[in-house]
Amino acid sequence: MKYTINQISNGEDEVIVNYRTMNPEVERIVHFIKREQLRLVGWKEKEQKVIDTKNILYIETVDGKTFAYTKDNVLKLEYTLTQVEQLLNDINFFRCSKSMIINIDKVDSLKSLPSNRIDAKMVNGEHIIISRTYASEFRRILRKGAQHG
């Protein structure tokens, strides 16, 4: 793949991706661009906060409420888990159980468990169980290089 990088003195920064066929290399570039631009809005106490999706470890629904967990914060989202899954589907987030989505990029290590489940240890040391319903798809995504869509 060839690429050209040009510094401009004025105007808006712009990235253009030209391709004949979508291949893994182009997919990685597109996923990276999407990931850098996507933000969610959440609530912490009575204050609205903008969440950079690359800082989210996982998103969970508890008692009908959806929360985004980062290293330092827990923020309540105004989305259902299904809506969040649709928003984040192209950027390395994965539905790992009925009530949780994890950021694949924040998984530190994996351990196989009985009944075809997976224990995903996150970068903050927390353990997330990937249920057997989702484990096969998760393994497929990892074999593909953590790029899905």
Q: Supply the DSSP symbol for 106.
A: G
> Can you give the residue ranges of every domain in the chain?
24-144
Would the pLDDT of 147 be above 60? no
Per-chain mean pLDDT for the chain: 87
Give the residues across from 51 on adjacent strands.
40
Task: Quick: pLDDT tens for 105-139.
Answer: 999 999 999 999 999 999 999 999 999 999 999 98
pLDDT (mean) for 48-61: 92
3-state secondary structure of 66: strand
CB atoms within 10 A of CB 67: 17
The tokens describing 139, both together, are 């393994």
CB atoms within 10 A of CB 132: 14
Distance (Å, rounded) from C-alpha 103 to C-alpha 80?
A: 17
Classify domain 24-144 at the CATH class level: mainly beta
Q: What pLDDT is recorded for position 36?
A: 58
Task: Quick: pLDDT tens for 31-44.
Answer: 777 665 667 889 99
| Residue-by-residue DSSP string for 116-145 | GEEEEEETTS-EEEEPHHHHHHHHHHHHHT
